[in-house]
Amino acid sequence: MLPIEKKGGSGEINMSFIILSIKIIQSKMKNILLKIIVIMLIFIGSVSSCKNDDIDYSNIENLYAQPLPVIQKCVEGKWEEIAVFGGYAGVSYSKNMFVDIYNDHCIMTLQDGSQIITYYTWKEYTIDDMGYKTWVMWDNESNQVFRYFIAIKNDTLGVGLPLKYFTSSYKRIK
C-alpha cells in the first residue's frame, strides 16, 4: 500500500508524492519486465540452438562418409540378409538368414537356426577396393574388418564384407 500524506488535516492528498510513488513502481516493474524478457531470450536462444535431428536414418546414400554416431544409428537393429553380391555366381540370394546388430556384437542366425556371435569394436579404416576411409566393425578375434556400411535406401542396407569386392544387402525387420 502506498503511504498517503495528507496536508493539514483537511484531507488533501499530496499529488507530487503519489506521482513519485507511481514512477517508482513503474521503474521497478520495468526492471522486472526487463529481467523476464532477458530470461526468455536466453531460454529461447538455448532451445533454438539445439539441432533438430532431421536426418532420415533409413535413406543415406553415402553412409560410409558419415560420422560414427550416424552409422551406428543406421545399422543397429534387426535385419534379414537378402543377397550377397560378388564372386563367381554374381548374386546369391539368402533365405532365412538374420542379423542382429548391437553396439558391440552381432548375432547371425543361419538358415539351420544355428547362430554365430561376433564381437567387434568400431575402427576407422581405409577400404582398399572402395578407396575411402570409413568406420568399420573390426572383428577383435580375427583382427580384420568384419563389416562396413556403404549406403541405406528405404531401410535396405548395403554392407561391405571382408572379402574383396563382396557386398551384401540387408533389409530392416520392423
List pLDDT tens digits, range 15-35: 776 777 777 777 777 777 667
Q: What is the mean pLDDT of the chain?
A: 83
Q: What is the mean pLDDT of residues 131-137?
A: 90
Instruction: Find, among 81, 130, 87, the residue nearest to 109 by Cα.
Output: 81
Pairing of strands 90-93, 77-86: antiparallel
- What is the pLDDT at residue 143? 94
User: Across 39-48, 102-111, 159-168, which has the greatest mean pLDDT?
Assistant: 102-111
Cell of 95: 533365405
Q: What is the percent of the chain where pLDDT is above 70?
A: 80
How much is the pTM? 0.66
Q: Give the list of residues 6+ apart from residue 126 with CB closer than 8 angstroms, or none.
A: 132, 133
Q: Which residues, listed in sequence order, are joined to residue 13 by a DSSP beta bridge? A: 6
Higher pLDDT, residue 102 or 44: 102
Q: What is the percent of the chain where pLDDT is above 90?
A: 48
List pLDDT tens digits, range 97-113: 999 999 999 999 999 99
- What is the pLDDT at residue 68? 96
Beta strands in 15-131 (DSSP E): 77-86, 90-93, 98-101, 105-109, 115-127
Q: Is the pLDDT of residue 60 over 60?
A: yes
